[in-house]
């Protein structure tokens, strides 16, 4: 049981390049989330999904797109990277259980855009 995994762990992009970050979970969780974490800003929600085939915008969605074609995977895409997207990206998932609201986080992807 690997939990939540993220690929890649590190990446350096040039401005204007595109890339996709992959999040995978093997816990059969319904909900998945993409956050970015910047110094002094905390964790900010980019996009999230409440189930396979669904996505919704979070607090800071501009410049990002997402897809949830399979329940276990949640992809975050940057179509044209900008230096402002330099950040640590965390994926998280949680089960659809009413009384427990623990989000399980992946190890993060450190992205630098030059």
Partner 1 sequence: RKEVEQDPGPFNVPEGATVAFNCTYSNSASQSFFWYRQDCRKEPKLLMSVYSSGNEDGRFTAQLNRASQYISLLIRDSKLSDSATYLCAVRTGGGNKLTFGTGTQLKVEL
Interface residue list for partner 1 (CB under 8 A): 31, 33, 35, 40-45, 48, 50, 58, 90, 101-103, 105-108
Cα 41 to the chain's mean position, in Å?
17
Euclidean distance between the first and the last CA atom of the chain, given in angstroms as a whole number? 36
Given the complex with partner 1, which of 18 and 37 has the nearer CB atom?
Answer: 37
Cα-Cα-Cα-Cα dihedral sign, residues 39, 40, 46, 52 = positive
Tell me how far, at minimum, the Cβ of 48 lies from partner 1, in Å: 6
Given the complex with partner 1, which of 86 and 103 has the nearer CB atom?
Answer: 103
Given the complex with partner 1, which of 85 and 93 has the nearer CB atom?
Answer: 93
Tell me how far, at minimum, the Cβ of 111 lies from partner 1, in Å: 14
- Closest to 70 in 3D by CA, of 93, 89, 90: 93
Tell me how far, at minimum, the Cβ of 62 lies from partner 1, in Å: 17
Given the complex with partner 1, which of 35 and 113 has the nearer CB atom?
Answer: 35
Tell me how far, at minimum, the Cβ of 80 lies from partner 1, in Å: 26
């Amino acid at each position: 049981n690997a939990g939540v995994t993220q690929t890649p762990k590190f990446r350096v992009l040039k401005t204007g390049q595109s890339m996709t970050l992959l999040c995978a979970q093997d816990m059969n969780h319904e909900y998945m989330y993409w956050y970015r974490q910047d110094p002094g800003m905390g964790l900010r929600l980019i996009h999230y999904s409440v189930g396979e085939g669904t996505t919704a915008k979070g607090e800071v969605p501009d410049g990002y797109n997402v897809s949830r074609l399979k329940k276990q995977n949640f992809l975050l895409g940057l179509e044209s990277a900008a230096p402002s997207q330099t950040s640590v990206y965390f994926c998280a998932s949680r089960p659809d259980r009413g009384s427990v609201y623990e989000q399980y986080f992946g190890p993060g992807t450190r992205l630098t855009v030059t």
